[in-house]
Structure 1
């Protein structure tokens, strides 16, 4: 799929994604409505909201096809991934409701933190149960990785 202005977006390998090249100029702001407090701060729209919604719905469909009859455990990365995760889960639920098979789904969360100038990454697991039948597999650890290189 080529975007306006000559070629920026195209199909990815296997037809399961969209590639936006580094020289893609984006879409003109004249094509969109946006809050007045952003006037003067934006130059272009790289990916319109409608495309993100459509791709999220397609991702849900691909997931449903790929998982077969297996259940799903969704691991949401907080805080920035919450909205995307909620939308993806909602699309999967809708597809599951309208299909001939029931898909059981569990959603858990992981919180990643990093600090500017330091390669320190803390991972907080919030009640992630690896095997629901084994209570000892429910963990709430903090794992720190640090590097000064």
Structure 2
């Protein structure tokens, strides 16, 4: 998948990719025994975000857009959103472009333990009326079933923005679910339960710097009663 704007699709982790040994990288002793493997290291995440930022800025140039509002989905995308925001500013500066970037937030939640719930709850953290005629980039940590993204993008489009695009750090391959294809994807990953880099499991594992797969012991240990 490629286009003239520079974005060439995600980095794909195959289904038979077992990941890197957790013993080869720094992990908190609190979580180490609950991690199955490391799928994406912190360094790989940062390099990929830098490239995504360049792709976004290049597409803004093609469209004649000088201002972009980043809508970060809390809490999981908080770190991705902050790092992407910084890299967008750096990319625009390196190209000598006078571009401005703004950050806004939406709270969304569908998960209970390791399952995706039937209802998606959205809460905008500021006046949604200000999105009218604005270029919007939704920033999501992980697209799983696509339920949240379908609902959120439809809602944002109803506010009459200039356009709405989505950047996701991770997209799971889920042949059992209707697909949602973000405009920018960092990594396409196997269907495993993923944590780290601010992605949580019942508010645990957020502080791990890498993208990791949780083992069955970890799911059980940190599960909450429904």
Q: Answer yes or no: same fold by TM over 0.5.
A: yes
Q: CA deviation at 1:115?
A: 6.0
Match of 2:32 in 1: 39
Question: In the alignment, does 2:121 pair up with 1:125?
Answer: no
Question: In the alignment, does 2:26 pair up with 1:27?
Answer: no
* CA distance 1:110–1:97, change in 2 (3 Å): same
Which of 37, 50, 57 in structure 2 is aligned with 1:57? 50
* CA distance 1:100–1:48, change in 2 (3 Å): same
Distance 1:45 1:19 in 2: 15
> Which structure: larger Rg?
1
Which of 44, 59, 71 in structure 2 is aligned with 1:66? 59
Moved over 6 A (4+): none
Matches within 5 A, 1:1-149: 13-14=1-2, 15-68=8-61, 69-70=64-65, 71-114=67-110, 116=112, 119-127=118-126, 128=128, 129-131=130-132
* Deviation by residue 1:22-78 (Cα, 9 ceiling, x = unmatched): 111111234312222233222321111111111111100100111113021111111
**Structure 1 unmatched ranges of 5 or more:** 1-12, 138-149
- The answer on whether the counterparts of 2:72 and 2:105 sit within 8 Å (CA) in structure 1 is yes
- Higher mean C-alpha deviation, range 38-47 or range 113-122: 113-122
Q: CA deviation at 1:121?
A: 1.8
Distance 1:91 1:72 in 2: 13
* CA distance 1:105–1:29, change in 2 (3 Å): same
**Structure 2 unmatched ranges of 5 or more:** 3-7, 135-158, 160-226
SS at match of 2:38: coil
Distance 1:107 1:72 in 2: 9
SS at match of 1:108: strand
Distance 2:111 2:21 in 1: 34
